[in-house]
């Protein structure tokens, strides 16, 4: 940091890339929080664990397929890991709703909250029992940089992994926006989030819509889990907690209940954190990230893209 | 359903569509509705009137499944519907509007009509994801029906407006269109003229008649606006304090001394 000035431009560019890739992961997970909240008005506290399970399924599949990587093309290995993680994790998301939320629907709001926290503790220990508590390393499948340039004598690079994270996230975000905006199920989701009783009256199977949001949120979190495994190189059963809290922060930052808000909040939080750890002592990155949340909540309690809900009591 | 069916003496044709008998609704110690009975015939426009707090909306909520009645029976086409959940009653062909309009305000007018067809557009998510021809055809038909009903209620030009941004009268008509697109047999209208100006009320009057005449729907409505009720109703039930105080054609009701007393007070 002593060569701050000449270093500034490349540093800025590099941190922008890093921040975008971290923010992409947050955004993928934040969507699960925001969609569930938008429909049932409750926070899914087991969502961080769902992400962790996604990461584990990804690693197991990558390792299994990676052993055969001499014969299998790399893209196939990656695609296989992503699909496996999505399918298995979506099943977990569905189960969380069935076990921790549906039987308690109609009860006081605190009750499903507590059962979801219980679910989160259960899942963490369940993975610990099955996979061990120690770090599991992810086979380095994507070494190297997509490109590396020198700006003012300093290198700026975009690694293949980061490019993959950003690319996959952008594609998924566009697909999700189209799906929610245009499809029959997307319409049903939006209708349920506005007036669940009316949606039911019009013949929409609201239980199915609720299940769908848990499944979709889990699938996106699973993608986030696989990608972070590839990028950091190791995972453990406890990664769900901090990332879960961060993604939740991102959802609140963008305006909980708003899908574009979750995307924006995730990217913003990722950038803030990366820049904070680049220009301040690294330990301060969480302080800065959560200070941002406090500021937004003080001056704009509904989040950046959230609209104040006047009608709901 | 054609006119020819009427000449054959089919009992289903002459039997009333909705039969309410001895309806009772108790909230704690308060008997909000007591001993209400009436029949709505096929193709009939039937109105329930009465002073504020007479229990009209309570009757509505019982018929549409929002309340489980404390007593009595409600039969649709001969089968008992009292106490069934609202979405089942809706699927049986009884749909309603609300005093305070309940549209999906953040969705466009046409989307409101597409959501109402959710089950008619029953295509699997997979065929939707892959945009199979079957899915696209179903979507196209759904859109065509939505366009038809927007036309019917005069909102074609507002198809892509958010429902919350439409005027009050337009929102009322959109809510009626949203009901009609589900092809109901019985349409329940809860104070449809509330908050409308005389011009809009006249348009509503024509719209309700047209729905009955062209779309084979029976109408049960609650209304304060006497001009609308007297104009379009075939028969009227008058309620006061949860009990019936008179029934008959508009002319009969107008001449009924108890009704006059309830509405105009006593000397």
At A4, is the pLDDT very low, low, confident or very high (cuts 50, 70, 90)?
low
A203: nearest CB among B90, B128, B129:
B90
Q: ∠ at Cα B216 (B212, B221), nearest 5°?
A: 45
Q: Average of pLDDT values for B29-53?
A: 90
Tell me the shortest Cα–Cα distance from A190 to chain B, in angstroms.
8
What global pTM score does this model have?
0.86
pLDDT for A311: 45
Report ipTM for this prediction.
0.81
Structure tokens at B217: 């729907």
DSSP state of A273: H
Q: What is the pLDDT of residues B216-263, one digit of tens each?
A: 899 999 987 777 888 899 999 999 888 998 899 998 988 888 888 877
Q: Specify whether the CB–CB gap between B108 and B160 falls below 8 A.
A: yes
Q: Determine if residue A302 is left, alpha or beta; phi over 0 gives left, psi from -120 to 50 gives alpha, anything else beta.
A: alpha
pLDDT of residue B267 exceeding 60, the answer is no
Count of C-beta atoms within a 10 Å radius of residue B251: 10
Structure tokens at A47: 């969502």
**Average of per-residue pLDDT values in chain A:** 88
Q: What are phi and psi of B94, to 5 degrees?
A: -115, 110
Give the residue among B160, B90, B159, B151 at the shortest CA–CA distance from B120.
B90
Tell me the shortest Cα–Cα distance from B86 to chain A, in angstroms.
6
A191: nearest CB among B104, B125, B128:
B104
Which residues does B contribute to its contact with A (CB < 8 Å)?
Answer: 86-87, 90-91, 95, 102, 104-107, 111, 114-116, 118-119, 121, 123, 125, 128-129, 139, 178, 182
Which of A212-226, A261-275, B127-141, B178-192 has the lowest average pLDDT?
Answer: B127-141
Q: Specify whether the CB–CB gap between B221 and B45 falls below 8 A.
A: yes
Helices (H), chain B: 4-7, 11-14, 56-63, 86-91, 109-116, 125-129, 133-152, 168-180, 198-215, 226-232, 250-255, 257-264
Q: Average of pLDDT values for A147-174?
A: 88
**Average of per-residue pLDDT values in chain B:** 86
Q: In chain B, whose CA is at the least distance from the CA of A212?
A: B125
pLDDT of residue B41 exceeding 90, the answer is yes
pLDDT for B138: 80
pLDDT of residue B44 exceeding 90, the answer is yes
pLDDT for B38: 93
Dihedral sign of CA atoms A27, A33, A36, A39 in order: negative
At A309, is the pLDDT very low, low, confident or very high (cuts 50, 70, 90)?
low
pLDDT for B196: 87
What Cα–Cα distance (Å) separates residue A86 from each residue in A83, A179, A219?
A: 5, 17, 5
pLDDT for A280: 86
pLDDT for A265: 95
Residue B30 neighbours by CB under 8 Å, 6+ apart: none
pLDDT for A70: 66
At A249, is the pLDDT very low, low, confident or very high (cuts 50, 70, 90)?
very high
A184: nearest CB among B90, B107, B121:
B121
pLDDT of residue B59 exceeding 80, the answer is yes
pLDDT for A237: 93
Chain B interface test: which of A184, A197, A257 (most B C-beta within 10 Å): A184
A183: nearest CB among B90, B102, B128:
B128
pLDDT for A1: 45
Count of positions (residues) in chain B: 267
Give the residue among B185, B209, B172 at the shortest CA–CA distance from B75.
B185
Share of chain A above pLDDT 90, in %: 55
pLDDT for B124: 61
Count of C-beta atoms within a 10 Å radius of residue A187: 23
* Comparison of pLDDT for B21 and A7, the residue scoring more: B21
Share of chain B above pLDDT 90, in %: 48
Dihedral sign of CA atoms A74, A77, A83, A88 in order: negative
What Cα–Cα distance (Å) separates residue A27 from each residue in A117, A135, A225, B221?
A: 22, 25, 12, 49
Cα Rg, chain A, nearest whole Å: 20
Residues of B in contact with A176 (CB under 8 A): none
pLDDT for B262: 77
A175 touches chain B (CB under 8 A): no
Residues of A in contact with B86 (CB under 8 A): 200-201
Count of C-beta atoms within a 10 Å radius of residue A283: 9
pLDDT of residue A29 exceeding 80, the answer is yes
pLDDT of residue A312 exceeding 50, the answer is no
- 3-state SS, residue B68: coil
Tell me the shortest Cα–Cα distance from B182 to chain A, in angstroms.
8
Give the residue among A194, A222, A218 at the shortest CA–CA distance from A206.
A194
pLDDT for B5: 38
Chain A interface test: which of B115, B123, B188 (most A C-beta within 10 Å): B115
pLDDT for B14: 66
Which of A79-88, B126-135, B192-201, B246-255 has the lowest average pLDDT?
Answer: B126-135
Q: Could you say which residues from 184 to 203 on chain A have a Cβ atom under 8 Å away from some Cβ of chain B?
A: 184-185, 187-188, 190-191, 194-195, 198-203
Q: Specify whether the CB–CB gap between A215 and A50 falls below 8 A.
A: no
Q: Tell if the CB–CB gap between B111 and A188 is shorter than 8 Å.
A: no
Most confident segment among A1-10, A85-94, B54-63: A85-94
Which of A56-70, B21-35, B64-78 has the lowest average pLDDT?
Answer: A56-70
Q: What are phi and psi of A273, to 5 degrees?
A: -65, -45
pLDDT for A308: 63
pLDDT of residue B1 exceeding 90, the answer is no
Tell me the shortest Cα–Cα distance from A260 to chain B, in angstroms.
15
pLDDT of residue A248 exceeding 70, the answer is yes
A204 touches chain B (CB under 8 A): yes
Tell me the shortest Cα–Cα distance from A120 to chain B, in angstroms.
29
At B266, is the pLDDT very low, low, confident or very high (cuts 50, 70, 90)?
low
At A68, is the pLDDT very low, low, confident or very high (cuts 50, 70, 90)?
low
pLDDT of residue B11 exceeding 90, the answer is no
B87: nearest CB among A184, A201, A311:
A201
A215 touches chain B (CB under 8 A): no
Q: Tell if the CB–CB gap between B115 and A187 is shorter than 8 Å.
A: yes
Residues of A in contact with B87 (CB under 8 A): 200-201, 203
pLDDT of residue B200 exceeding 50, the answer is yes
What Cα–Cα distance (Å) separates residue A39 from each residue in A33, A102, A224, B102, B183?
A: 10, 13, 22, 17, 28
Q: What is the pLDDT of residues A32-67, one digit of tens each?
A: 999 999 999 889 999 999 999 999 999 999 888 877
Residues of B in contact with A185 (CB under 8 A): 125, 128
Q: In chain A, whose CA is at the least distance from the CA of B117?
A: A202
pLDDT of residue A137 exceeding 90, the answer is no
pLDDT for B128: 61
Q: Tell if the CB–CB gap between A191 and B102 is shorter than 8 Å.
A: no
Q: In chain B, whose CA is at the least distance from the CA of A176?
A: B129
A260 touches chain B (CB under 8 A): no
Chain pair A-B, CB pairs under 8 angstroms: 56
pLDDT of residue A92 exceeding 50, the answer is yes
């Amino acid at each position: 940091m002593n060569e701050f000035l000449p270093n500034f431009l490349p540093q800025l560019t590099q941190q922008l890339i890093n921040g975008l890739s971290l923010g992409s992961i947050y955004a993928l997970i934040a969507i699960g929080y925001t969609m569930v909240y938008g429909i049932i008005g409750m926070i899914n506290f087991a969502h961080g664990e769902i992400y962790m399970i996604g990461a584990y399924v990804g690693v197991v599949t990558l390792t299994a397929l990676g052993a055969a990587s001499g014969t299998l093309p790399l893209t196939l290995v990656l695609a296989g890991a992503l699909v496996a993680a999505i399918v298995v994790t979506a099943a977990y998301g569905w189960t969380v709703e069935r076990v921790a939320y549906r039987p308690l629907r109609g009860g006081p709001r605190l009750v499903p909250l507590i059962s979801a926290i219980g679910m989160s503790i259960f899942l963490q220990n369940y993975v610990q029992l099955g996979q061990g508590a120690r770090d599991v390393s992810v086979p380095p499948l994507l070494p190297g940089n997509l490109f590396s340039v020198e700006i003012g004598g300093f290198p700026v690079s975009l690694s293949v992994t980061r490019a993959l994270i950003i690319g996959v996230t952008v594609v998924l975000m566009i697909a999700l926006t189209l799906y929610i905006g245009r499809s029959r199920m997307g319409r049903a989701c939006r209708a349920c989030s506005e007036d669940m009783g009316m949606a039911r009256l019009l013949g929409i199977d609201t239980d199915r819509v609720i299940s769908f949001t848990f499944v979709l949120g889990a699938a996106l979190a699973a993608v986030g889990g696989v990608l972070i495994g590839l990028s950091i190189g190791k995972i453990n059963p406890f990664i769900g907690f901090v990332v879960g809290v961060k993604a939740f922060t991102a959802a609140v930052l963008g305006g909980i209940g708003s899908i574009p808000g979750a995307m924006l909040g995730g990217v913003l939080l990722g950038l803030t954190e990366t820049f904070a750890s680049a220009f301040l002592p690294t330990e301060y990155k969480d302080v800065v990230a959560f200070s941002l949340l406090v500021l937004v909540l003080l001056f704009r309690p509904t989040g950046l893209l959230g609209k104040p809900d006047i009608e709901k009591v | 359903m054609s006119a020819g069916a009427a000449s054959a003496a089919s009992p289903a044709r002459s039997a009333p569509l909705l039969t309410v008998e001895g309806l009772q609704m108790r909230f704690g110690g308060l008997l909000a509705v007591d001993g209400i009975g009436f029949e709505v015939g096929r193709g009939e426009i039937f109105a329930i009137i009465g002073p504020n707090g007479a229990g009209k909306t309570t009757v509505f909520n019982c018929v549409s499944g929002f309340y489980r009645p404390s007593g009595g029976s409600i039969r649709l086409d001969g089968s008992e519907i009292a106490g069934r959940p609202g979405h089942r009653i809706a699927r049986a062909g009884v749909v309603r509007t609300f005093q305070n309009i309940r549209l999906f305000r953040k969705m466009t007018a046409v989307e409101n009509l597409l959501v109402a067809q959710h089950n008619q557009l029953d295509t699997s998510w997979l065929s939707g994801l892959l945009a199979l021809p079957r899915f696209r055809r179903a979507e196209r038909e759904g859109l065509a029906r939505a366009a038809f009903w927007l036309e019917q209620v005069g909102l074609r030009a507002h198809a892509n407006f958010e429902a919350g941004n439409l005027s009050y009268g337009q929102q009322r008509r959109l809510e009626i269109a949203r009901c009609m697109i589900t092809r109901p047999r019985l349409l329940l209208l809860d104070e449809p003229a509330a908050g409308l100006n005389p011009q809009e009320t006249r348009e509503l009057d024509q719209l309700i008649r047209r729905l009955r005449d062209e779309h084979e729907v029976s109408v049960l409505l609650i209304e304060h606006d006497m001009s609308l009720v007297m104009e379009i109703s075939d028969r009227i039930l008058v309620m006061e304090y949860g009990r019936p105080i008179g029934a008959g054609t508009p002319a009969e009701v107008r001449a009924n001394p108890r009704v006059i007393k309830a509405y105009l007070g006593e000397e």
